[in-house]
Amino acid sequence: MHAQGLYDPANEHDACGVGFIAHIKGNKSHSIVEQGLLILKNLDHRGAVGADKLMGDGAGILIQVPDQYYREEMAKQGVTLPPPGEYGVGMVFLPKENASRIACEQEIERAVLAEGQVVLGWRNVPVDLDMPMSPTVRAKEPVIRQIFIGRGQDIMVTDALERKLYVIRKSSGHAIQALNLLHGKEFFVPSMSARTVVYKGLLLADQVGVYYKDLQDPRCISALALVHQRFSTNTFPEWPLAHPYRLIAHNGEINTVKGNFNWMRAREGVMKSAVLG
The residues annotated with a catalytic role in the active site are 16
Report DSSP letters for 97-147, one per residue.
Answer: SHHHHHHHHHHHHHHHHHTT-EEEEEEEPPB-TTS---HHHHHHPPEEEEE
Nearest in space to 43 (alpha carbons), one of 203, 206, 200, 246: 206
User: Is there a contact between 136 and 102 (Cβ–Cβ < 8 Å)?
Assistant: no
Residue 244 class from Cβ within 10 Å (0-12 exposed, 13-18 middle, 19+ buried)?
A: buried
Residue 2 class from Cβ within 10 Å (0-12 exposed, 13-18 middle, 19+ buried)?
A: exposed
- Taking the mean position of all CA atoms in its chain, how far away is CA 256? 22
How many Cβ atoms from other residues are within 10 Å of residue 53's Cβ? 10
How many Cβ atoms from other residues are within 10 Å of residue 51's Cβ? 5
